[in-house]
Structure 1
Amino acid sequence: MRFFFIVFLNQRDVHPYTKAPIKYTEPIQDEEPTPNFTIPVVTIADVIKHQKFYMHKRFAEFQFPSNLKLSNFTLATSGQPIRSVVITTWRSGSTFLGDVLNAVPGNFYHYEPLLNFGIVQIRGPPLAQLAISNLKNLLKCNYYDMQNYLSYGKTHIYLFTHNLRLWNECEQYPQFCWNATFLSEFCKLYPFQSMKVVRLRLKLAEELLKDES
C-alpha cells in the first residue's frame, strides 16, 4: 500500500387549513384517467455508474503527481490510491485533522474504523490481528468481511457521517448505505483515502506499511 502516515500526539411555517370545505351542488365530472407511469428502480450499478461519470468529469484536468491520470489512483481501475493514515490517541485534535484531510477533492474518509471495538487501546492479542485485518479491508475497499463493523454502524451512523461524499449518497439512497457491495464499489472510485485511528498502538501500524498492496 502507498501511505502517508501522520502521528498526531498531543420553508416557511405551514399553517393548518382553516377555511370551510367547498360544497358542490352539482355532480363533478370525472377527469381523464391519469396515465400509469412506472418509476424506474434505481440499482447499485446505477449509483456507481453515475458517481464514476462524476469523478471522471471532476478530475478531467486535475494535476496528479508525475502527470499520472485518475485511473492510476483508483482501485476500480486497478490503480493505487494515495492513502493517509493518522495514528493518534484521544483528545489530540485528530477529528479536526481528519476533517482537513477529508477536504481534499476525491478523498474517501474512513472515520474511526475501530469504533466497534469499544473504548480500548489495542496493544496486542487477542484484538490486534482482527483490528489490523479490518483496517486493511477498509483501505482495500473490501466491506464483504466487515459485518460486525456494518452492524455497528447501523446504530452509530457517525461512523459514516464524517465521510461526507459517502453520506450524501446514503441520505439519497439509504437502502444501499450499509450494503457491502455498494460500499466496496463506491470506495474504489476514489483516488485518495484517509483514515484516523485512536485505538491502535503505533507499533502495530507497521504491518500496514509492510503490505505492498
Structure 2
Amino acid sequence: MAKIIRDYKRRFLIASIISAMLVILFLASDTHLHNGASRRYQSSNHHPQVSQSNESFFLFLKENSTLDKPTTRKPILNKHRRSKDAPRAVLLWTTWRSGSNHIGELLANAVPNTFYSYEPLHWMGVQILHRKNRETSRAIKFLHNLLYCRLDSFMMQITYRSYYTFDKKWNPYLMKKCEPLGTCFNPAYVSKVCLEANMHFGKVLRLSLKFAWALLQDDELDLQIIYLARDPRASLASRKRAKFCTDTTCGDATKVCDMLEDDLHVASKMLEEYPEKFKLVQYERFSIDAEQGLKDLMLFLGFPSLSQMQMDLLHPKTLGREDLFGMQKNSSMMIDRWRTNTDFTSVSGSQLACAKPLFMLGLRIFKSEEEFRNLSLPLLVTNIMLD
C-alpha cells in the first residue's frame, strides 16, 4: 500500500511539473499576440465633450438601470431551466479595480454549492480585448464552453488555473470535490463538478461588453449578466498604485475611458433588449448602502433574501489588514478614499479624457484641488451639467 501511495505521489509530481511547463510555454508563445493586439488598438486623442445625446443617455440609465432605485422585477428563481446541459449562470462583467472582488464574493455566496470561475480569461494577460480578432474569438469560445461546463478541450486553461491556485482561493466548491487526488488538473472531472453545481458564477475581465451579445443571444443558456462600472479616475488611481497595468488598455486614461463609454452605450441597448437578463450596477451607488444594493441584486437574480454567508461578508465581526485583492474593506469609505491619496494633477488629466463617461455615470468633475480634497462634496451628483 505504501508503495502504491509513493508511486502515485511520484506520478502526480511529474504531471504537475509537465503542466507547469505547458503553462509557461503557452504564456511565452502568446506574448507576441498580446503585444500585437495592443499595437492594433488605435484610439483618437481628442478630449470628449458632453453632448445632448449623452444627457439623454444618462436619463435613460437613471430610469432603466436601477442605479438609484430598487428593482420591482418579480423573482425568477423558480423558472424552468432552458437547458439540461448547463447550470444556471451569472456573470459579473467588469474591469480591474472596479470593486469586483467585493461584489463578486457577495454574489458567489448567494447559494451553496456555487462553482466560481474567478477571472476565467486571466491567461490572456493584462489587456482589454476590444477589437474583433483571433484573440477575441478564442476568449469568447472559451467563455461559451465554460458556461456549458464543456472543458475537455481546454487542458491549458484548467492547468493554468490550478497552477496559479485561483480555484483554491475562490472556488471552495470545486476544491472540496477534487482533493486530495489532484483531479483539479483533469478537465473532464472539472466539467462534471461544474455541471453538478447549483449555480455557476463567473467574474469576467479583459473583454469589452459588446462581446457579451453572443452569450445573451444563446437561448439555451440560463444566463444573467451584471455589468459593474466604477469612476474611471478611481480605478486608474488604484491600478497605478498596484503597478500591474503595463498595457495601454489598462493604464491609459483616454483608451480606458473610450472603452468605458462604448460599454455604457452597449449597456443601454442590452437593458432595453434583455431587461431580465442584464443589469447595470454602479459601484459608488451600490457602496453607499451595500446591504440594500445587494438585496436589489438578489431580487434581480430571483433570490428573495440574503444568505447568512452574505450577511457575514457584509458585516464582518473583525477587520484584518488591508488586502488589495480581498474583501476586508469598508466599501462606503472606499468611495472617496482615492481622493485622499491621489495626486490631483493626474486626476485633472483623467477628467479631460473621461468627461463623457463621468457625465453618463452622474459623477462630479472637480474644478480645483481644494474641491477634490473636500470630502463633504459628494462624488455623485444628479446631473453634472446642472451642478
Kindly tell me the number of residue pairs found equivalent between the two proteins. 145
What is the root-mean-square deviation in Å for CA atoms of aligned residues? 2.5
Q: Which amino acid aligns with 1:190?
A: A
Distance 2:210 2:146 in 1: 19
**Counterparts of 1:20-59 in structure 2 under 5 Å?**
none
Task: Determine the structure 2 residue equivalent to 1:121.
Answer: 128
TM-score normalised over the length of structure 1: 0.61
Q: 1:130 to 1:165 in 2, by over 3 A?
A: same
1:94 to 85, 100, 106: 100
Structure 1 residues 83 and 92, CA gap change in structure 2 (3 angstroms): same
User: Is the CA contact 1:73–1:82 (under 8 Å) kept in the aligned structure 2?
Assistant: yes
CA gap of 1:85–1:79, structure 2 versus 1, over 3 A, is same
Query: How far apart are residue 80 of structure 1 and its match?
Result: 5.2
| Superposed displacement of residue 159, structure 1 | 4.5
Aligned to 2:146: 138
* 8 A Cα contact 1:98 1:196, kept in partner: yes
1:171 counterpart residue number? 179
The answer to whether the 8 A contact 2:177-2:193 is kept is no
Offset at 1:177?
A: 1.1
Higher relative contact order (CA 8 A, sep 6+): 1
**Aligned-pair distance for 1:106?**
2.8
Deviation at 1:208, TM superposition (A): 0.7
Which residue identity lines up with residue 118 of structure 1 in the other structure?
G
1:92 to partner: Cα distance: 0.7
Q: Greater shift after overlay, 85-94 or 117-126?
A: 117-126
CA contact (8 A) 2:118 2:167 kept: yes
**Residue type matched to 1:91 in 2?**
R
CA contact (8 A) 2:89 2:200 kept: yes
Asked if structure 2 preserves the Cα contact closer than 8 Å seen for 1:87 and 1:197, the reply is yes
Q: Distance in 1 between matches of 2:89 and 2:139?
A: 18
Alignment match, 1:210:
217
What do residues 66-114 of structure 1 show as CA deviations (whole Å, max 9, x unaligned)?
Answer: 4x7xxx6597xx2653211111010011112111111122321111000
Partner of 2:205 in structure 1?
A: 198
Q: In 1, Cα distance between the equivalents of 2:82 and 2:165?
A: 26
The two structures have a TM-score, normalised by structure 2, of 0.35
Task: Measure the CA separation in 2 of the matches of 1:157 and 1:73.
Answer: 32
- Mark the runs of 5 or more structure 1 residues left unpaired by the alignment: 1-37, 40-63
1:155 and 2:167 are equivalent in the alignment: no
Q: Per the alignment, do residues 155 and 80 of structure 1 end up closer, same or farther by CA in structure 2, a change over 3 Å counting?
A: closer
Q: Deviations over 1:156-190 (max 9, x none)?
A: 1124530111022333332x111011111111111
CA distance in 1, matches of 2:82, 2:185: 21
**Equivalents in 2 of 1:158, 1:84: separation in Å?**
18
Matched, 1:111 2:118: yes
**How many percent of aligned residue pairs carry the same amino acid?**
32
Q: Following the alignment from structure 1 to structure 2, what is the Cα–Cα distance between the partners of residues 190 and 127?
A: 29
- Of residues 180, 184, 195, the one that matches 2:187 is 180
Larger Rg: 1
| Whole-Å separation in 2 of the counterparts to 1:109 and 1:95 | 12
Structure 1 moving runs of 4+ over 4 Å: 72-75
How far 1:198 sits from its partner (Å)? Answer: 1.3
Q: Distance in 1 between matches of 2:147 and 2:159?
A: 19
Match of 2:77 among 65, 90, 93: 65
Which structure 2 segments of 5+ residues have no match? 6-75, 221-387
Of Structure 1 and Structure 2, the greater helix share is in 2
Residues of 2 paired with 1:150 and 1:83: CA distance? 19
Is 1:81 aligned with 2:93? no
Counterpart-to-counterpart distance in 2, 1:179 and 1:128: 25
CA distance in 1, matches of 2:196, 2:204: 23
Give the SS at the match of 1:65. Answer: coil
- Displacement after TM superposition at 1:154 (Å): 3.5
